[in-house]
Amino acid sequence: MKKTIVIAACLAIGTASIGAAEVKENWEKHCASCHGKDGKGETKAGRKADVKNLTDATYQASFTDEQMFKQIKEGMKDKNGKEKMKAFGGTLSDDEIKALVAFVRGFKK
């Protein structure tokens, strides 16, 4: 019985590690070019798009997880209807987007 519990715990830890690696890969592949690896948005593309600093707790408090999820899934347009951020709903699953939301929340100081 103890052996089964230990094996189950190891599998759960291994799965969590894989999930953490996947979300980091998704961040680096789809988000870091604008938002930066550190979430500060201090990239050429980020400055051009006026990307906000995701490490700023005050800025992060200005939106909910649901709003962030929707922006990642559906993208974002400026007031003139021009795409500011592409939609990732066709690229990432809902679970991958939820993982990105949690990842972004980890940037705040």
Alpha-carbon torsion angle 101, 28, 38, 54, nearest 10: -30
Task: Give Cβ neighbours of residue 24 (< 8 Å, ≥ 6 apart).
Answer: 103
Q: Each residue of 92-108: b (16+ CB within 10 Å) or e? A: beeebbbbbbebbeebe
The enclosing domain of 30 has a CATH number of: 1.10.760.10
Full-model pTM: 0.79
Task: For 17-71, write each residue's pLDDT tens digit.
Answer: 345 679 999 999 999 999 999 999 999 999 998 999 999 999 999 999 999 999 9
The count of domains in the chain is 1
Q: How many helices (H) and strands (E) does the chain have?
A: 6, 2
User: Which residue range is the domain that position 20 belongs to?
Assistant: 2-105
